[in-house]
Each structure stands twice: as C-alpha cells, then as structure tokens.
C-alpha cells in the first residue's frame, strides 16, 4: 500500500472520529485545497510536495484558527470555558501532537519565517505541517522532503527528527483515538475539552482534569 493511500485512509479514520465525538474540532476543518493552490505553494517554497502530503491537502486545507488571533480578541474576563473564543481555541489543536494543521498560506509563512531562522537558511527542505495555535507558531512539526520523515521545531531549539513518516504518524494517531490511549510517537494523550466537543492532546497529567479536560477512553 502506498504512502498516499495510507495517509488518506488514516485521515478518514481521524476525521470520522472528530465528526462523531468532537464536532467543534471537526467544523474547524477548511475546504479542500485546489491543485492550483498546491502548485502555487510549491512555487513559493521552491519544492514539490510528496504525494502523501498533497493527498492530505486535497482533503482539507488545514484548519480555521491555526493562528488563535483568527478568533478575534481573547475575552479579558470570560464566563468560563464556554465562551465562543475558548470553545474554538480549545478545539483547534487537535492533530495527534496537540497542534493545529496548517493551511497552505500558513505553511508558506512558517517555512519562510520560523524554520528558515532556525536552520539559518533562506530555503529549506523542511515543510511545516502543524504548529501550535496557542503559541502562535513558536513550535511545530515539519516533513523533511529529503528523508520523508517528520520532525519537530521550536523557538530557540534545533529541529529534531522523529524518525517516522506522515502515514505512520496519522495511523498511530487514529489508533490512539480509537483505543483511548496515549500515542506511541510523542506519548501524548487525547483529551476532550471542558465543553466536551473539542479535542486536543496533552502529555498525561492529572492537572488537566482539574481544569475540566477529560482523557479519551475506549
């Protein structure tokens, strides 16, 4: 089975889970990217996206709110976690690393900004795929086009390979959701938001439960 077919199948499992159990996260998904948008992104980046990454973007162009500023100004004194801003913010970082899936326009911005600054190069083979909406793209995950492996980057840290491909990562995320357990890539646990309609992933810690988050269980 090709990497592209595996990515498509794994994503359908994740999206089906979101639609059933985390509807607020599901509605954050953007419409599919067009072939023209992908071609324009490749032109700006100066590289060709591999089939498995193209396939992912042909299903959805990331999510709305990959930068939390898109939700507007954060309430100064919200009425708990149920206000509209927090419901969205709690639901957008739902990829299996607790980050947001970047739309192509954000891929371009992160590629030309944070990743280039970290590597000291104007161009790089690292194509960002996710980033933390909570921390305004100060940390994220990239796909290394030279190896086909994912890696992580963060402000003031050297990029680090995870030694796993996109298909393996999404398959493990889908399995962790279905089985209600931490994933075996980063060891992060899926949690439901305090309002029960959004998904994110945290390092296992009972403190999150005190704040109203609940671990996903089988």
132 contact partners, CB below 8 Å, separation of at least 6: 93, 98, 99, 100, 138, 139, 140
DSSP state of 29: B
pLDDT of residue 179: 97
By mean pLDDT, which of 8-17, 104-113, 121-130, 193-202 is the weakest?
121-130
**E strands, the chain, in order:** 100-101, 126-131, 139-144, 149-154, 160-161, 189-192, 199-202, 214-215
Neighbours of 116 (CB within 10 A): 15
| pLDDT given at position 174 | 98
Confidence bin at 80 (pLDDT 50/70/90): low
Helix axes 166-179, 51-59, angle to 10 degrees: 50
Residue 69 has pLDDT above 90, yes or no: no
């Amino acid at each position: 089975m090709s990497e592209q077919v595996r990515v498509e199948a794994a994503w359908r499992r994740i999206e089906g889970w979101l639609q059933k159990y985390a509807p607020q996260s599901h509605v954050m998904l953007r419409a599919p990217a067009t072939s023209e948008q992908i071609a324009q992104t490749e032109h700006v980046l100066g590289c060709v996206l591999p089939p498995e990454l193209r396939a992912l973007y042909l299903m959805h162009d990331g999510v709305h709110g990959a930068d939390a500023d898109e939700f507007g100004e954060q309430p100064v004194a919200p009425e708990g976690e149920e206000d509209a801003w927090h419901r969205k913010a709690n639901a957008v970082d739902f990829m299996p690393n607790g980050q947001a899936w970047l739309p192509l326009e954000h891929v371009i911005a992160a590629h030309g900004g944070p990743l280039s600054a970290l590597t000291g190069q104007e161009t790089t083979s690292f194509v960002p795929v996710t980033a933390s909406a909570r921390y305004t793209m100060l940390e994220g995950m990239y796909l290394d086009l030279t190896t086909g492996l994912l890696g992580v980057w963060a402000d003031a840290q050297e990029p680090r390979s995870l030694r796993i491909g996109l298909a393996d990562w999404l398959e493990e995320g889908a399995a962790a959701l279905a089985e209600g357990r931490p994933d075996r890539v980063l060891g992060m646990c899926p949690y439901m938001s305090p309002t029960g309609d959004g998904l994110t992933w945290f390092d296992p810690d009972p403190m999150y439960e005190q704040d109203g988050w609940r671990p996903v269980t089988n």
